[in-house]
Chain A
Amino acid sequence: MGFLHYLRIWLACARYSIVRTMMFRFDFLMWSLVEFFWMSVNLLLVAVIYEHTDSIAGWNKYQMLLLVGTAMILQRLMMGFFWSNLFELGRNIRSGQFDFFLAQPGHPLFMISTRKIDPDSLINSIVAIAVVVYAVRQLGLHPGAVDIALYVALLACAIVVHYATVLLVVSATFWLIGSQGIEGTYFTIFEFSRLPREAFRGVTSVLFVYALPAVVVSNVPAQTLIHGFQPLHALWLLGLAVAWLTVAIFVFNRGLRRYSSASS
């Protein structure tokens, strides 16, 4: 089964999701509003703190806005493309509905990861991009096509890390059937991605900058726009993406072997 086959499956799923969203237009509007409001909450936090200080760990207001905007793009894309699918994976394993995915015409991991897209999150990713563009203009930066391409490539690596983290957490359900709510760990971990790396000291730095990929995912792309391309940082993020995805796929496949369905 080649790339074209999977692309066709994904396009069919995406079309179904959009048609379904258009059937429940009020719901779509409300959820878009909910996400927009939550994003505004994060921006207001930045605005209020910088009313009282000029710098947080060496980051000025618009640099911080760029960082928060980058973290928001990542989370919106993650929510738009993968969150519902991976969230439902846990539920499906518990209920035995996961059987259904094993019978579909593609690798189970692809089938569970791409079944739905959430247009309300994707719409809000445009707002997050606008925040980044606004911050870039306020900082007087003029990134060229190569800088933007590098920023996008680093965002792609960061999305892989987000995806792998959720997959890893949800795959625990294969072993811990009664682990409802474990998916929320994702939000706990990536709350740190809205903070500058330099704000972390001692143990928290070891834990959230080096041991967990919570901070690097947003800081490396944002710093690339602010200070230019830093190969070592880019390699760090790329390495993290490869390592986390490899571990997540390994754990998922091991879990898949344990899966024995649920009683009917």
Chain B
Amino acid sequence: MISSLTKYCHAFLVGLQGNIVYRWNFAFRGFSSLFHLIVVFTLWGAAYAGKSSIGGFDLGQTLTYFVLLLVLQFFIGAFNEDYQISEEIRNGLINQFLLKPINYFLYRFSIFLAARLVSGLLVLVAVAVALPFIYHHLTLPTDAWRLWLGLPAVALSAVIQFSIAFCFGLLTFWFLEIQSFVILSYAIETLLGGQVFPLDLMPASIFRISQFLPYYYQMYFPAAIFTGRIDRTQAIEGIGIQLFWAAALLGIAHLLWRRGLRRHTAVGG
């Protein structure tokens, strides 16, 4: 057990070193995201003009939601993990993992955690730079339970995010080019994950349906816990559904891996 953990700790450290090399790319991406925040602040600021609340939430709560979403995206969002996995399959680089006592999912997940640690810390720098201009808009509830339920929700979100990316990467066993699938899925995740607008602003029936889809638990759910958009009962119920999706996606990833390997042909030495 411990030797197994050490193995993935090493993968994490290698991933950390590899991603620190790209620190400027992540920092550039983090600072570019501030422009998206300006769009969000401008649009929602204009929408709230003359109104104290939209959908039961004030401007500060909505803007805080989007700022937190940005931070979460850099800490737990899957960036290009699907492409990396796809490339490793296409170029035959996964062959080496088939001969070693290492679980490919856990190996990639360790690298994913390392990459997100680097990108997450760098986006905090970008947000810190923007803080003097936006802090008076930010408002966070102080209930302790939001932290205790929010943190496991963030961890499960990371598992869901990575598992979806992993499954899309594995599609390379069946399709030569997966880029269009990935971008289509990204569009669906962006919309149903609550990155375009808070999902609770949708009509009640559609919002209820969205709560049973995995996308809801990718970004909206942890952000909604921290920013006070859902209450304690909804949060506990949500964690149950989130656990189900995390387990289901891990199962699908395992199934795709086993089926995909049967189709895989390793050539060359």
A184 to B29, CA, bound (A): 10
| Min C-beta distance of A251 to chain B, whole Å | 21
Number of interface residues of B (CB under 8 A): 32
Question: In the complex, which of the residues B38, B49, B187, B196 contacts A34, with contact meaning CB atoms closer than 8 Å?
Answer: B187
Question: In the complex, which of the residues B48, B177, B184, B203 contacts A33, with contact meaning CB atoms closer than 8 Å?
Answer: B184
For the complex with contacts A34-B183, A41-B196, A57-B46, 14 further pairs of A-B residues with Cβ separation under 8 Å are A27-B180, A30-B180, A30-B181, A34-B184, A48-B202, A49-B47, A49-B197, A51-B201, A56-B47, A195-B46, A196-B46, A199-B42, A199-B45, A204-B38
Chain A 175-203, CB-CB to B under 8 Å as 1, else 0, gives 00000110011001101100110111100
Q: Is A31 an interface residue (CB 8 A)?
A: yes
Q: Which chain A positions have C-beta within 8 A of B232?
A: none
Measuring CB to CB, which residues of chain A are less than 8 angstroms from any residue of chain B?
A: 27, 30-31, 33-34, 37-38, 41, 44-45, 48-49, 51-53, 56-57, 180-181, 184-185, 188-189, 191-192, 195-196, 198-201, 204, 208
Please judge, given known A-B contacts A53-B51, A56-B46, A185-B32, whether A45 and B197 are in contact too, CB under 8 Å.
yes
- Secondary structure at the A interface, as helix, strand, loop or mixed, is helix
| Min C-beta distance of B61 to chain A, whole Å | 14
Q: Is B84 an interface residue (CB 8 A)?
A: no
Q: Is B97 an interface residue (CB 8 A)?
A: no
Question: In the complex, which of the residues A37, A201, A204 contacts B188, with contact meaning CB atoms closer than 8 Å?
Answer: A37
| Min C-beta distance of B130 to chain A, whole Å | 13
B190 touches A41 (CB 8 A): yes
Question: In the complex, which of the residues A53, A57, A181, A188 contacts B35, with contact meaning CB atoms closer than 8 Å?
Answer: A188
Q: In the complex, which residue of chain B has the Cβ closest to the Cβ of A50?
A: B47
Chain B 79-113, CB-CB to A under 8 Å as 1, else 0, gives 00000000000000000000000000000000000
A184 to B203, CA, bound (A): 33
Q: Which chain B positions have C-beta within 8 A of A56?
A: 43, 46-47
B39 touches A192 (CB 8 A): yes
Q: Which chain B positions have C-beta within 8 A of A196?
A: 46
B32 touches A184 (CB 8 A): yes
Q: Is B54 an interface residue (CB 8 A)?
A: yes
